[in-house]
């Protein structure tokens, strides 16, 4: 992740694109990239979504790359470490959803 952050700083500086990368703009771009993944799944059944053909999977992989790129640029601008943020959130979720209570609570889950 740190390597990617560094690569993206260089990439942006070389092209003088930092002027476009306000946090407000970056979150918009991130939402657009995520929607490009949604587009691949919108007409598939859940079962089909587990069994993508290699052509579609390749395109989705590239868009997952785009999502990471904009997320890293946004987090970098805000001074947030995304991996650390995820770790802390997982710990918080562990407390909020104790496993003994959560197991098999499908209806509960649907209200999360």
Query: Using an 8 Å Cβ cutoff, are 78 and 23 in contact?
Result: yes
- How far apart (Å, rounded) are the C-alpha atoms in residues 63 and 68? 9
Q: How far apart are CA 2 and CA 7, in angstroms?
A: 9
Closest CB 76 distance from a second copy, rounded Å: 11
Contacting residue, 64, 76, 95, 96, with a second copy by CB under 8 A: 64
Told to check if 18 binds a second copy by CB under 8 A, we report no
Sites for a second copy among residues 71-110 (CB under 8 A)? 71-72, 74-75, 77-80, 82-83, 85-90, 92-94, 97, 99, 102-104, 106, 109-110
Q: Where are the alpha helices (DSSP H) in the chain?
A: 2-15, 23-41, 46-50, 54-78, 82-96, 99-102, 106-110
Shortest distance in whole angstroms from residue 102 CB to a second copy: 4
Which among 16, 24, 7, 3 has a CA at the least distance from the CA of 77? Answer: 24
| Least gap, CB of 60 to a second copy (angstroms) | 7
């Amino acid at each position: 992740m740190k390597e990617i952050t560094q690569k993206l700083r260089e990439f942006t500086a070389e092209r003088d694109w930092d002027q476009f990368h306000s946090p407000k703009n970056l979150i918009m771009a991130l939402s657009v990239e995520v929607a490009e993944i949604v587009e691949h799944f919108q007409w598939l059944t859940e079962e089909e979504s587990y069994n993508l053909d290699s052509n579609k999977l390749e395109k989705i992989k590239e868009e997952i790359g785009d999502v990471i790129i904009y997320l890293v640029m946004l987090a970098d601008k805000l001074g947030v470490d995304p991996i650390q943020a995820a770790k802390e959130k997982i710990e918080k979720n562990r407390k909020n959803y104790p496993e003994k209570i959560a197991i098999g609570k499908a209806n509960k889950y649907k209200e999360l």
